Structure 1
Amino acid sequence: MSKDKIFIFDLEGDGVNPSKIHCLVVAYQSDDGWVQYSTTDYNKMRSFFMKKGRIFIGHNIARWDIPVVERILGIKVSNKIVDTLPLSWYLYSNKLKHGLDDWGTEFGIPKPKITQGEWEGPLEGETKQQFIDKMLHRCREDVKINCKLWDKQIKDLTNLYEKADPWAIINYIMFKIDCARKAEESRWKLDVARCEEALASLEADKASKLDTLIKAMPKVPVIKVVSKPSKMYKKNGDMAVAGVKWFELLKEQGLDSSNSEDVSYVSDLKLPNPTSVQQKKSWLFSLGWKPQTFKYVKDSDDSGRSFTRKVEQIYIDRKGEKMLCPSVKSLQDKEPAIEALEGLTILTHRIAILAGYLKNVDDEGYLKAQISGLTNTLRFKHKTIVNLPSVSKPYGDIVRGVLIAPEGYELCGSDMSSLEDRTKQHYMWDYDADYVKEMQTDDFDPHLDLCVLAGFLTQEQADMHKSGEAKFSSERSLGKTANYACVYGASGKTVARSSGGKMTNEEGNKLVEKYWERNWAVKAIADDCVTKPCLKQNWLWNPVSKFWYSLRYDKDRFSTLNQGTAVYCFDMWIQEFFKRRPQITGQMHDEVILCIKKGFREQCAKLLKDSIHSVNEQLNLNRSLDVDVQFGDTYADIH
């Protein structure tokens, strides 16, 4: 890429959602390095952004600077852009913070500090020129940092990709960020009235549960510690008031009058706090609680010697939800208030979601499906609209149902069918084609299959479960636990722990053993993965996307390969339908949400189906990809 086409820029406006641009600073490369120029003139800014053939580089420019430029200057920026923020997410995934402030510290270029609201205009006693000079200084320093960052990034990308063109991964990441920008521009309509009503209802439910628990739980003693007064007597030899109180306290506590040590006693009893884990556990133990589920935490003693600490759990994870452990529920006959514990964590989570909606909704009643980063497999990290429970979960219909389509429109929800299973089968085909063919039969159930192999069920029982003649859901859940855990290299002990006390370590070991007998190809694929160290971390090569992915742990080889492939396939599908309809309201995992005019369902479904067909032709995987399409007025209707 020619250096004379590259321009790094930054701008300053009068707020987070600015109404005007104070200044623009641009850097370009000369023989002597980066050279800056600046302007406060809108026409010169328009001329800069409208000139063809340029590549614009900046930090978070895709989702902030460029939209601001287009809105305020009234132009459309059609040149290629490169955003150094998502590139930082990709290249340095072990870095906690990626802002220019943090990079400036690393490069020895401090980012100028400006207090809240200082960018709005001149402060008292400050001239307009002094204010502009301050904005220009801030902008210039930001551009200096970004020049250093881009120099580092293109060098690191070149080292990582060696002889391959690093612009392939740059273009891919920029496409992903463009998707995020389009979602933010589209926004998502919130039924504000229903959201407020639902929030009030859930908060009332939570308050009722807390009140029940406060009445049932024991009051908490307030411990007061009193030291012997330094002056027990007056100068005339009479006992001081402090001395009198000290001896009275000793008498009350049954202590000898000669005691000079600190005295600890219960000075008061305060109402219990039902959100305190320690207070809840103390209460449960007083009721005779015998914990069955534990979390194992790595710790170290004062000498630095490591050990594993066993922490009893009140709640267990069931399909992503915190449910009361059976050992706690068994106390309900003895103490009916235990019922109030059930669902308290779920209520708190749902309340936080609804409150987040109302906090972030704009004046027109819309939310933005924003992102906060990329995972190591290049999947979006979401914020604002994140971790939404399905409609089958408690209150899931509410938190999804308040996300709606505007009048005259409806939502289209389309997700890729069993995406990670299909990409897994693609990789397994060359190793164990017979097993892949078996997995593709209509009635294949991997969880029942594992239970049969491990001797938890007979084949006849598994067949009866499939046909509905009998139910072996409890046994099947053990196979499901093992299937999901083993992909990430879990041991038999870990699988047993994950079952919530439903299986022994021996049974966990048996499931793990049989899982790997059945899925030996997964280990073989992982062993054959190409990895290398670079940029102070390990990387894994993906033969489908032809990109390098950060590899956190060696045991994550297959999951990194498979998840990265799934994300790439998903993005290719979006890229295909964007060619004809570049709009997206949101995307979650392997699902897209579109907003379409009513009366166009057939055309929309055809576009999505045709697009995945095109992806299948391009990738030519060993397992074809497919999508499901649903329509409705609310998010609860479509997923």
Structure 2
Amino acid sequence: MYLDWSETGRDYFVIDIETDSLEPTIIWVMCSRNVLTGETYEYTDYNEIRDFFRRNKDAVFVGHNILRFDAPHLANLVGIPLSVRNCIDTLVLSTLYSPSLSGGHSLGAWGLVLGREKIEFNDFSRLTDEMVTYCHRDVEITTELFIKLIKVLAKIKFTERSIWIQHRLTVLLDRQQRNGFYFDGPRAVDFYRMLRTREGEIADEVHQVFLPERVLVAERSMFKKDGQPTSIYIKDRERYFLDEDPISGVYSAFEDVEFNLGSPKQRIDKLIELGWEPQEFTEKGNPKPFDKGKLSPSLEKFLADRPVPEVELIAKWMSINGRANMVNTWLEAWNETDSCIHGTLFVADTLRLRHQKPNTANIPGVRLDRDKHPVRGEQGYFTYEARDLWTARPGRVLVGTDASGLELRMLAHYINRADFTKQVVEGDPHQFNADLVGITRSEAKTLIYAIQYGAQDRKVAKMLGVSISEGGRIRTMFLELLGLKDVMDAAIKEQQNGRVELIDGSKVICPSPHAALNYKLQGSGARVMGLAAILLEQDIRREGLDSLKVGDIHDEWQYDVDPNDAERHALLSVEAIRRAGELLQLNVPLGGEAKQGRTWAETH
């Protein structure tokens, strides 16, 4: 249907509609073009539009953003039930080809690339000849774009399955965005105010511990040549502390500078001064004590090994400040009309999902004690209370499903080594790896993820606290004994052509050899979860379950479910992950875990 479109024997029509707004009440015109014959049509009457689709019920319909705009509004306003089964979306093809495409994915941007610019037109309040011409031009551009993208994807050797998955995933994610995740806004307002109050109290404690430091501002002459005081000397006496030397006629000006908690640089300098040795850095090489809504692992470890009170205060302030900032973005995105947050999802370079308005991928998990019980309040950095704001609609429950150890299972698939696979599925893969190379379990766990993200000898040495040569020896031994070297070398070889292949046959652009393995594992995991989500949605519809998809966070789903359907939904969700692995012919079985609860704090 996609790559072999010209050989299917079916008619392919490019269509486009013009409406009165992005949330339309009327369709003014629909234009179409037969891709094979070049014949064009225009319809301004709903009955004509219905006749067109009736005559061409076996055809395939192509459009730019057809799945999220044209098809839903043709269904709502005209009664035309277009399905993803007979639609091809050039916006989906464009995103699959290059998620971060320079210039963007709009039809206007592609028109410039194709040498066929969109017509400037802005009056959608009524039907005009100019509007019809504008619509025909969009159809022309979309036709050329469809042919071009299919040729490019075929040349790169994308598979039919990868395009099939992306189309259905687009529909599913659009439905999720329209559903929205129910959010307790009034309680969030109270929580936000409490966090800001506590943030201020901790700041006061910090300033009592770290008293202002007297720092040198300048050294200057006290007098002019005629013996009169300089004007700057007179001003400095009013605003600074002066250390004057009447003999030399020189003074030093000092001021008391408070420790500025709001300054990332001052926080980092103070933490390093107190003994923290950063292991996480930004792309520019700056230390990262706090990332993705939580303390960095090296700072967490430092606090656990050496609970320095001053460091604990700064860490507590960062956590509560970060939590308050996060809750503020949720309140900004909260729709008071339906009490939901309708976050935006789009595809990242690895084909993993990214989240905007708000970013729900960076919400820290609930902190647990040694007995796996949630730690509430300040001791748990308010992680439980934050997730507890995301809930099910009244009278319903949330069902959360997590894939079990997905990234390691993807690695096990590519390594395809029976003893390692057994440990990943049934045992302790990190202890297995530690025993292979003679390091601790904690070091092995850190090492395997670091290597996946491209860590080289120097980075490994710093992480393990050894020399660069020893770090290189451990890294080489780890790669060779585990069989990871062959997998990494294969990924790097693929990357030499600019792309790496994912488990479903997608080919993603990869920026560097160091990133090749990470792109392959992360991207393949995303494709597994994408296919599993589609399978689950098919099961839900077939069995008539009352389940609304509200969250999709990497290897986790959240559904808003009727309590009577919750148990069945949970069972089907785990089964969908297992089936996806089988359909993609993984060398390792996949599994998952599903939990029911009233809020996100209870289901993940």
Q: Which bin holds the TM-score, normalised by the shorter protein?
A: 0.7 to 0.9
1:515 aligns with 2:478: yes
Match of 1:446 in 2: 429
Per-residue deviation, 1:614: 4.4
Q: Provide structure 2 residue ranges, at least 5 long, that are not aligned to the other structure.
A: 219-227, 238-251, 368-379, 542-547
Given candidates 556, 572, 587, the residue that maps to 2:552 is 587
Alpha-carbon distance in structure 1 between the residues aligned to 2:150 and 2:172: 23
Question: 1:416 corresponds to which letter in structure 2?
Answer: A
Match of 1:607 in 2: 572
**Aligned residue runs from structure 1 range 292-331, under 5 A:** 292-293=277-278, 311=286, 313=287, 315=289, 321-322=295-296, 324=299
- 3-state SS of paired residue (1:354): helix
**Aligned residue runs from structure 1 range 177-576, under 5 A:** 177-210=170-203, 218=212, 248-249=231-232, 274-280=261-267, 292-293=277-278, 311=286, 313=287, 315=289, 321-322=295-296, 324=299, 339-362=312-335, 363-376=337-350, 378-383=351-356, 384=358, 385-392=360-367, 394-429=381-416, 432-437=417-422, 439-440=424-425, 442=426, 444-456=427-439, 475-498=440-463, 505=468, 508-520=471-483, 522-528=484-490, 538-542=498-502, 545-576=504-535
Question: 1:360 corresponds to which letter in structure 2?
Answer: A
- 3-state SS of paired residue (1:599): helix
Match of 1:147 in 2: 143
Given candidates 101, 108, 127, the residue that maps to 1:101 is 108
Instruction: Say which is worse superposed, 343-352 or 149-158, in terms of deviation.
Output: 343-352
Alpha-carbon distance in structure 1 between the residues aligned to 2:46 and 2:40: 18
Residues 386 and 570 of structure 1: CA distance in aligned 2, closer, same or farther (over 3 Å): closer
1:69 aligns with 2:34: no
After superposition, the C-alpha distances for 1:366-408 in whole angstroms (9 at most, x for unaligned) are 22353122433x3222233332211126333233222211123
Residues 579 and 94 of structure 1: CA distance in aligned 2, closer, same or farther (over 3 Å): closer
Question: 1:357 corresponds to which letter in structure 2?
Answer: W
Residues 23 and 292 of structure 1: CA distance in aligned 2, closer, same or farther (over 3 Å): same
After superposition, the C-alpha distances for 1:277-318 in whole angstroms (9 at most, x for unaligned) are 345467779xx656632667888xxxxxxxxxx64x372669
Alpha-carbon distance in structure 1 between the residues aligned to 2:518 and 2:402: 20
Identity value in percent: 23
Per-residue deviation, 1:74: 4.3
Residues 223 and 560 of structure 1: CA distance in aligned 2, closer, same or farther (over 3 Å): same
Question: 1:592 corresponds to which letter in structure 2?
Answer: W
Question: 1:88 corresponds to which letter in structure 2?
Answer: S
Alpha-carbon distance in structure 1 between the residues aligned to 2:174 and 2:90: 15
Match of 1:466 in 2: none
Given candidates 17, 20, 28, the residue that maps to 2:23 is 17
Residues 366 and 41 of structure 1: CA distance in aligned 2, closer, same or farther (over 3 Å): farther
Per-residue deviation, 1:482: 0.8
Superposition TM-score, scaled by structure 1 size? 0.73
Alpha-carbon distance in structure 1 between the residues aligned to 2:69 and 2:355: 17
Structure with greater proportional helix content: 2
Per-residue deviation, 1:351: 3.0
- 3-state SS of paired residue (1:17): coil
**Aligned residue runs from structure 1 range 167-182, under 5 A:** 167-182=160-175
Residues 608 and 250 of structure 1: CA distance in aligned 2, closer, same or farther (over 3 Å): closer
Per-residue deviation, 1:92: 2.2
Per-residue deviation, 1:515: 1.6
Asked if the contact 1:414–1:592 (Cα under 8 Å) also holds between the matched residues in 2, the reply is yes
Alpha-carbon distance in structure 2 between the residues aligned to 1:65 and 1:217: 63
Match of 2:33 in 1: 27
Per-residue deviation, 1:410: 1.2
Match of 1:259 in 2: none
Question: 1:41 corresponds to which letter in structure 2?
Answer: D
Given candidates 141, 152, 156, the residue that maps to 1:156 is 152
Match of 1:306 in 2: none
Alpha-carbon distance in structure 2 between the residues aligned to 1:477 and 1:528: 28
Per-residue deviation, 1:357: 2.7
Alpha-carbon distance in structure 1 between the residues aligned to 2:302 and 2:399: 43
Per-residue deviation, 1:189: 1.5
Residues 291 and 15 of structure 1: CA distance in aligned 2, closer, same or farther (over 3 Å): same
Asked if the contact 2:118–2:138 (Cα under 8 Å) also holds between the matched residues in 1, the reply is yes
Superposition TM-score, scaled by structure 2 size? 0.76
Equivalent pairs, count:
554
Per-residue deviation, 1:153: 0.2
Given candidates 43, 48, 51, the residue that maps to 1:44 is 48
Alpha-carbon distance in structure 1 between the residues aligned to 2:323 and 2:31: 44
Asked if the contact 1:531–1:538 (Cα under 8 Å) also holds between the matched residues in 2, the reply is no
Given candidates 81, 87, 95, the residue that maps to 2:93 is 87
CA-based RMSD: 4.4
Per-residue deviation, 1:598: 1.1
Alpha-carbon distance in structure 2 between the residues aligned to 1:155 and 1:406: 46
Per-residue deviation, 1:604: 2.4
Per-residue deviation, 1:540: 3.4
